[in-house]
Structure 1
């Protein structure tokens, strides 16, 4: 049976962000129960071996707060984490890999472009290839990730291209608006037992007809909720870029996620990767109420969900 554990649902910097004094972060500091780590989930077909979807800088705290990811009883050095599936090369997705360097075997699965980024940065050499294998994800080709001892995991994962952009720190190498294969992936996750499938799309630049068709009738979709409005960061004085320029479709508006993914027969719709500027993170906000009225919700860290 497919098992999903939410590790965090905030975007880069978490909630509250360490250096931000916006209205949302001020409110979060006064209400610690609303704090959120950076986006990540763990998936498993058997409840014993887990694969992380991305590895945020918060991964150490997230593992310590998640009992199913703790070392198993009777073993001095151990981890039930069998692998990491990377959906992009952003710092928010790969920096946590450096916290997994203490000698437990696992496999990194990523598009060739992202594997190239890791290979170019010698810092990731601390993940010794004898223990941490790197496997290329081929788009639109389902695969079953293996456990460190070579046994099948029982998961079936298919990666597909979604509209996006290169990681911020790579923008100097290409036109920022240029979309290239491998920059932003969505995932379809199921099991070899034929369980209901889940889609994870932590970043997305726009809703296309092809994406709508792919998600039609899905049991569960975890979708990019970075910004409520496209000009949110500009309006709050936090940044000069729009959401579209950053590779994120807004939640609201006629071209936003709520409108774009409406009427598709999706059973469960959840927003993840939510920026600290987005009032969607605040449980008492009008925006949260509007999203919930439209059939969406925001999961909490530690929540176990099933399709």
Structure 2
């Protein structure tokens, strides 16, 4: 199994277009790496690839990844795209992937329904991009030799679907994790998760690799920094500090944080928080990072 992190940032990327926080200014100045928005590519054979989440930055991500370059005038090694929720930073790139390129689009029924409610998604020709509805806890083939099983994780509906009181620990088809298998290798991709119940820890236990939600270092950091009015949990994300505590002692081969907000000190490779995460056995995802579970 090969996993390439195409984009390691949360929505908005780093630097975010309208943000003048220390991290965004440092990225603009080249003092810390810039990060594009959340997406990964996975393959079992290095020839046929699946993309998990189509970020708004997908065009530049594909251009920066030789393994995904076209192999002919209109041929490329993309076999499927799978989305883990309907958030804009995970689906807006589908509009870029509309140029008569065949691939299977996998999602739960709830996510397909959210996409279908936007008429622009009709630009993806159904005869070339068939919508494949995935039932929870059923295994599907993403690419030759690569399977995936979707399972519910605590989360919430996308921002554009929020109405009234929002459930941030909703467990259903709106936010899912992905269990990937290729040969004897088993990896998990969970870029959005609001809590870590015991059943989720038990499912992850023994994995060769885990790519997990690293949106915020601390739950209230955006409020403290004057960047927003919501906590991480209100946005449907666990704090990194809580995740490291919850998964301490769980058997996992490689632990990698992905989907990091521009406020997160993990975006700075030299920060004290990055050093703390590494000391606790975690890696920090970067654009272009390749993982071999």
* TM superposition score normalised by structure 1: 0.93
What residue in structure 2 maps to residue 150 of structure 1?
none
Matches for 1:103-182 after TM superposition, within 5 Å: 103-145=100-142, 153-172=144-163, 175-177=166-168, 179-182=170-173
Equivalent position of 1:67 in the other structure: 66
Q: Point out the structure with the larger strand share.
A: 2
**Unmatched 5+ stretches in structure 2:** none
How many positions carry a matched residue from both structures?
A: 293
1:265 to partner: Cα distance: 1.5
Measured after TM superposition, the shift of residue 137 of structure 1 is 0.9
1:244 aligned residue: 233
Give 2:281's aligned residue. 295
Q: Which residue of structure 2 lines up, in the alignment, with residue 199 of structure 1?
A: 188
In structure 2, the residue matched to 1:89 is 86
SS at match of 2:233: coil
Which residue of 1 is the match for residue 207 of structure 2?
Answer: 218
Counterpart in the other structure of 2:98: 101
Deviations 1:140-177 (CA, angstroms, capped at 9, x unpaired): 1112136xxxxxx2111111110000001110277344
Q: Which aligned runs of 4 or more in structure 1 are off by greater than 3 angstroms?
A: 173-178
- Structure 1 equivalent of residue 15 of structure 2: 16
2:37 is equivalent to residue 38 of structure 1: yes
Residues in 2 aligned to 1:272 and 1:11: alpha-carbon distance in whole angstroms:
8
Q: Please report the RMSD computed on the Cα atoms of aligned residues, expressed in angstroms.
A: 1.3
Q: Provide Cα deviations, 1:66-110, integer angstroms capped at 9, x if missing partner.
A: 0011101xx211221111011000001100000011111011000
Question: 1:138 Cα shift?
Answer: 0.7
Tell me how far apart the structure 2 counterparts of residues 266 and 25 of structure 1 sit (CA, whole Å). Answer: 32
- Select 2:247's aligned residue among 261, 267, 284: 261
TM-aligned CA deviation for residue 210 of structure 1: 0.7
- 3-state DSSP class of the match of 2:148? strand
Give 1:304 deviation, angstroms. Answer: 1.8
Pick which of 277-286 and 171-180 moved more: 171-180
Question: 1 CA distance for matches of 2:49 and 2:124?
Answer: 18
Question: Could you tell me how far 1:299 is from its partner in structure 2?
Answer: 2.5
* Structure 1 residue runs without a partner (length 5+): 147-152
Q: What's 1:149 paired with?
A: none
TM-score by length of 2: 0.97
* Structure 1 residues 174 and 134, CA gap change in structure 2 (3 angstroms): farther
Which residue of structure 2 lines up, in the alignment, with residue 185 of structure 1?
Answer: 176
Q: Taking structure 1 as reference, are residues 32 and 48 closer, same or farther at Cα in structure 2, changes over 3 Å only? A: farther
Shift of 1:219: 0.9
SS at structure 2 position matched to 1:79: coil
Counterpart CA distance in 1 for 2:204 and 2:169 is 24
Q: For the residues of structure 1 that align with 2:270 and 2:188, how far apart are their CA atoms?
A: 27
Secondary structure of residue in 1 paired with 2:277: helix
